[in-house]
Amino acid sequence: MKDVAYIALGSNLGQREVFLAQARRAIAALGKTRVLGQTDAEETAPIGPIAQGPYLNQMIAIETELSPQDLLAELKRIEADAGRVRTTRWGPRTLDLDIVLFENQAVHEPGLTVPHPELSNRDFWLRELAALRSSRVG
């Protein structure tokens, strides 16, 4: 089933702009998927208890036929290709890719909840999501 998904991209280690660009290219290259739009990148303060540098964040809208589980697996592969190592929750990372929302699906499974449970706690996600959705209208 085709659906529109909104993916949050974030990085706060190394060449942040490069990691976001690599992620956009890798997502665009996924089978049964096409990028519909992207927001400008914006710098935000880190969230959570770990002292770390600011994040560069961005969101993209994609149309995909991948299942939520398959999309998540691909996003984790892209993170790993960017050198992401999962050690500390909410710790610094080269690349963080989150499925924020699907237009026509909700998922509540171990390891995957969509809409993302932190959506209402991230003002920049709400702004980016609103910008992408308004650009698709009309």
Tell me which of 25, 84, 89, 127 is the catalytic residue.
84
Say if strands 55-64 and 33-38 run parallel, antiparallel, or are unpaired: antiparallel
Give residue 137's pLDDT. Answer: 54
Kindly name the residue from 34, 98, 127, 136 that is annotated as catalytic. Answer: 98
Which band of pLDDT confidence, cut at 50, 70 and 90, is reported for residue 29?
very high
Catalytic, out of 16, 24, 25, 96: 96
Query: What local confidence, expressed as pLDDT, does residue 51 receive?
Result: 76
Q: Would you state the structure tokens that stand for residue 127, as one six-digit string?
A: 């702004």
From 77, 93, 123, 133, the catalytic residue: 93
Helices (H) and strands (E) in the chain, counts: 3, 7
pLDDT tens, position by position, 47-67: 877 778 899 999 999 999 999
Average pLDDT of 95-102?
A: 95
Count up the domains in the chain and report the number. Answer: 1
Domain that holds residue 108: 3-136
**Sorting pLDDT into bands at 50, 70 and 90, what band is 129?**
very high
Model confidence band, residue 86 (pLDDT cutoffs 50, 70, 90): low
Is the pTM higher than 0.75? The answer reads yes
Q: CATH number, domain at 21? A: 3.30.70.560
Q: Is 25 a catalytic residue?
A: no
Q: Residue 113: in which H helix or E strand, if any? A: strand 112-114
93 classed as catalytic: yes
* CA distances from residue 91 to 85, 123, 129 in whole angstroms, order as listed: 10, 19, 24
User: Would you state the pLDDT for residue 138?
Assistant: 43
pLDDT at 19 exceeding the cut of 60: yes
